Amino acid sequence: MADREVALLANYLIVGAMLFALGAIGFLSRRNLILMFLCAEMMLQGVSLSLVAFGRFHNDWGGQVLVLLVITVAACEAAIALALIMVLFQRRGTLDVIAWQELREADQPPYVEDQPFEEPEPAAPEWPQLPLAGLRPEIPSEQTDYRPHV
């Protein structure tokens, strides 16, 4: 019985570690703020899974209580982060982290990448054109017969 519990704990810890590692890799490799935020949430879920697994293994409610606190903090973080992302997007028009160099600390050197950051120019939308009022649209001659074919 104890071997099954240890194996179950190990399985939960492996999945929690995989979630945390995927979140950390995604957070460090992405530059889009929304994806970075989602990767941070994935890391929190990996830690939460590990806390619940340890709580179940030790027959203690401490892990579950800590997970409730982590979920509460994550919800508050989500509200603040999304509001911040919206404000920054309205100012710059992009979610790329490199676009906000002036937000770094004063003693930090600016980030220089191999390829310079260039914002793509948005393409002009092509709207459908309607015929003027009172004019008949041109209809090809094969479509003028509106009688049903028998």
Does the residue 51 lie in any domain? yes
Domain holding 41, by residue range, is 2-103
Structure tokens belonging to residue 26: 């995604």
Number of domains the chain is built from: 1
| CA atoms of 93 and 66, how far apart (whole Å) | 38
Q: What are phi and psi of 125, to 5 degrees?
A: -70, 145
Beta bridge partners of 32: 96
What would the mean pLDDT of 10-39 be, rounded to a whole number?
Answer: 92
CB 73 within 8 A of CB 64: no
Quick one: what percent of the chain has pLDDT higher than 70? 84
Q: What is the CATH number of the domain that holds 61?
A: 1.10.287.3510
Residue 19 has pLDDT above 90, yes or no: yes
Judged against a pLDDT cut of 90, whether residue 1 lies above it is answered with no
Asked whether residue 102 carries a pLDDT value surpassing 90, the answer given is: no
For Cα atoms 67, 69, 73, give the angle at the middle one, nearest 5 degrees. 115
Is residue 37 a part of any domain in this protein?
yes
Residue 121 lies in a domain: no
Which pLDDT band holds residue 148 (cuts at 50, 70, 90)?
Answer: low
Residue 138 has pLDDT above 90, yes or no: no
pLDDT confidence tier of residue 47, bands split at 50, 70 and 90: very high
The answer as to whether 147 is a domain residue is no
- Mean pLDDT of all residues belonging to the chain: 83
Locate 86 and state its tokens.
Answer: 């919206």
3-state class (DSSP) for residue 29: helix
Beta bridge partners of 96: 32
Who wins on pLDDT, 143 or 67?
Answer: 67
For residues 96 and 52, the model is more confident at 52
Residue 112 carries which side chain, given as an amino acid letter?
Answer: V
Token pair 């949430």 is found at 41
